[in-house]
Amino acid sequence: KKRFDINLEVYLQPQDKNPTLISQSNFKHMYWNMSQQLAHHTINGCNILGGDMMGSGTISGPTPDSFGSMLELSWAGSKSITLDDGSERKFIQDGDTVVMKGWSQNENVRIGFGEVSNKILPADF
C-alpha cells in the first residue's frame, strides 16, 4: 500500500460573499501513486534530485462531490453548481476566490498542510 491518505477540500468564494465547499476528495483516489509517478519520470531519463517538487495532477474522487476540477464539477459547463449564497457557477468568474485545504490524520494526530487561496483577477487588456 503506497497511497497517501491526504484529505482535500476546495471552496469557491464569490467576491464579498462567504465561501462554499464545492469538492472534498482524497489523494488515495489517484490512479498512479507517487512511487509510480516518480518511476515514470526517471525511466525516461528525467533527473530527479532530493527536494524536487512533484505535481500529481487533478485529484478527483469517485463521486460527483469529489470531482477535482470545475470542468468535472460542472460537466463541462452543462450543469451549474449552486453556491451557498444562491448564485450559480459553471466556470470560475473574475473576482472569485478559490481556497484549498489539505490534511492527513490518524487516530492520534492530525497534520494540516495549511491552505492556499487565490483570487481570480480580470485580464488586463
Per the structure, the count of domains in the chain is 1
pLDDT tens string, the chain, 125 residues long: the values are 677 899 999 999 999 999 999 999 999 988 888 889 889 889 988 889 989 988 888 999 999 999 999 999 999 999 999 999 999 999 999 999 999 999 999 999 999 999 999 999 999 99
Q: Is position 106 within any domain?
A: yes
Q: Is position 33 within any domain?
A: yes
Which residues form the domain of 27?
7-119
Distance of CA 101 to the CA centre of its chain: 8
Q: Is position 125 within any domain?
A: no
Q: Is position 17 within any domain?
A: yes
Residues in the chain: 125
Annotate 81-107 with DSSP letters as a single string. Answer: EEPTTS-EESS--TT-EEEEEEEEE-S
User: How far is Cα 109 from Cα 70, in angstroms, rounded to an integer?
Assistant: 32
Q: Is position 50 within any domain?
A: yes
4-42 per-residue burial string, b: 16 or more CB within 10 A, e: under 16: eebbbbbbbbbeebebbebbebbbeebeebeeebeeeee
> Which CATH number goes with the domain that contains 36?
3.90.850.10
| Greatest CA separation for the chain | 52
Q: Is position 51 within any domain?
A: yes
Q: Is position 124 within any domain?
A: no
Q: Which residues pair with 8 in a beta bridge?
A: 25, 102
State residue 1's pLDDT score: 61
Q: Is position 1 within any domain?
A: no
